[in-house]
């Protein structure tokens, strides 16, 4: 199977001015395949957000290449195709909402790319349905809760029919209820076949994914399924990841993967 996103020896440095620069990503290579649900974890400043901005060309590598469905993100003529393939949802729902009525907000991106009226209505209906916001379509977004606003932002991205959506700490501003609403929408989109990449500092959210990539100091230090990753409790603790949550992961992973026996967990000196 062809990867949807492939990073080849990617390094990235922020240039502050002539004399100063911040090297962030260091020789990063991995591929993401259609239908995967990938969580990217790592402590603050490890380079997760910088990495995720490479997935749709918001940032391009200082050296190395990123390929999105075979298109190089440095190729200006493919920028629009790449943005259509990989949508992004950010942390602050307020910064992503532009219109005064929910359905107009969802329509915004579609108008920009000239989708015909009838098709637009169909896509808005479908997107609002997936995030369970249909009944709010005529409401002003500023009256909604954080979780509801974030779901409107997701509907806006979804309506563009991307193959992949990247969530960059998209639940971190939300309360437990709002977070669960958004996670439900994410699960549903993945079940529909969409590729999901989520950047999160929450281990419980990472455990939802089929694959976890651990970033430290701009490098990939672990890449595997939650079962494999949470075996390395000490490594995760050394990376200052949320240790109490890490300790609960054996239970969560255990309950999610029934064929994974408790004996095996103990044998491998799991958490």
Distance CA 75, CA 92 (A): 29
Q: In the complex with ligand ADP, which residue's Cβ is closer, 49 or 150?
A: 49
Q: In the complex with ligand ADP, which residue's Cβ is closer, 29 or 255?
A: 29
Task: Please identify, among the stretches 42-50, 56-64, 73-81, 206-214, the one whose residues bind ligand ADP according to the rule CB under 6 A.
Answer: 42-50
**Crossing angle of helices 102-112 and 117-130, rounded to 10°:** 130
Residue 14 binds ligand ADP, judged by CB under 6 A: yes
Q: Which of 6, 7, 10, 42 binds ligand ADP (CB under 6 A)?
A: 42
The CB-based long-range contact list for 13-18 (8 Å cut-off, 24+ gap) reads 13/62, 14/50
For 238, residues 6+ apart whose C-beta sits below 8 A from its C-beta are none
How many chain residues touch ligand ADP (CB under 6 A)?
Answer: 12
Q: In the complex with ligand ADP, which residue's Cβ is closer, 19 or 267?
A: 19
Distance CA 116, CA 267 (A): 59
Strands 195-199, 164-168: pairing is parallel
Residue nearest to ligand ADP (CB): 49
Q: In the complex with ligand ADP, which residue's Cβ is closer, 190 or 200?
A: 200
Angle in degrees, CA 118, 119, 122, rounded to 5: 90
Task: Please identify, among the stretches 40-48, 76-84, 102-110, 125-133, the one whose residues bind ligand ADP according to the rule CB under 6 A.
Answer: 40-48
For residue 59, which of 118, 2, 11, 109 has the smallest C-alpha distance? 11
Q: In the complex with ligand ADP, which residue's Cβ is closer, 48 or 151?
A: 48
| Minimum distance from residue 16 beta carbon to ligand ADP (Å) | 6
Binding to ligand ADP (CB under 6 A) within 16-35 occurs at 16, 22, 24
Binding to ligand ADP (CB under 6 A) within 43-102 occurs at 44-50
Asked if 66 and 72 touch (Cβ cutoff 8 Å), the reply is yes
Residues that bind ligand ADP (CB under 6 A): 14, 16, 22, 24, 42, 44-50
């Amino acid at each position: 199977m062809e990867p949807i996103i492939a990073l080849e020896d990617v390094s990235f440095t922020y240039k502050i001015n002539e004399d100063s620069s911040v090297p962030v990503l260091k020789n990063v290579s991995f591929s993401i395949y259609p239908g995967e649900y990938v969580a990217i974890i790592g402590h603050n400043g490890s380079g997760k957000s910088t990495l995720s901005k490479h997935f749709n060309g918001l940032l391009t590598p200082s050296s190395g290449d990123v390929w999105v469905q075979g298109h190089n993100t440095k190729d200006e003529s493919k920028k629009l195709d790449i943005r259509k393939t990989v949508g992004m949802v950010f942390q602050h729902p307020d910064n992503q909402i532009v219109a005064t009525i929910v359905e107009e907000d969802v329509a915004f991106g579609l108008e920009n790319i000239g989708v015909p009226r009838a098709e637009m209505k169909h896509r808005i209906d479908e997107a609002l349905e997936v995030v369970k916001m249909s009944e709010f379509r005529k409401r002003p977004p500023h009256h909604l809760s954080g979780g509801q606003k974030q779901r409107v932002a997701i509907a806006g991205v979804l309506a563009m029919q991307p193959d992949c959506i990247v969530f960059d700490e998209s639940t971190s501003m939300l309360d437990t209820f709002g977070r669960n609403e958004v996670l439900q929408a994410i699960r549903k989109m993945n079940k529909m076949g969409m590729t999901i990449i989520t950047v999160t500092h929450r281990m419980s959210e990472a455990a939802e994914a089929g694959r976890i990539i651990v970033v430290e100091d701009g490098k990939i230090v672990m890449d595997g399924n939650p079962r494999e990753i949470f075996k390395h409790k000490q490594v995760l603790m050394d990376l200052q990841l949320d240790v109490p949550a890490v300790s609960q992961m054996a239970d969560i992973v255990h309950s999610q993967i029934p064929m994974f026996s408790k004996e095996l967990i103990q044998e491998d000196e799991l958490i």
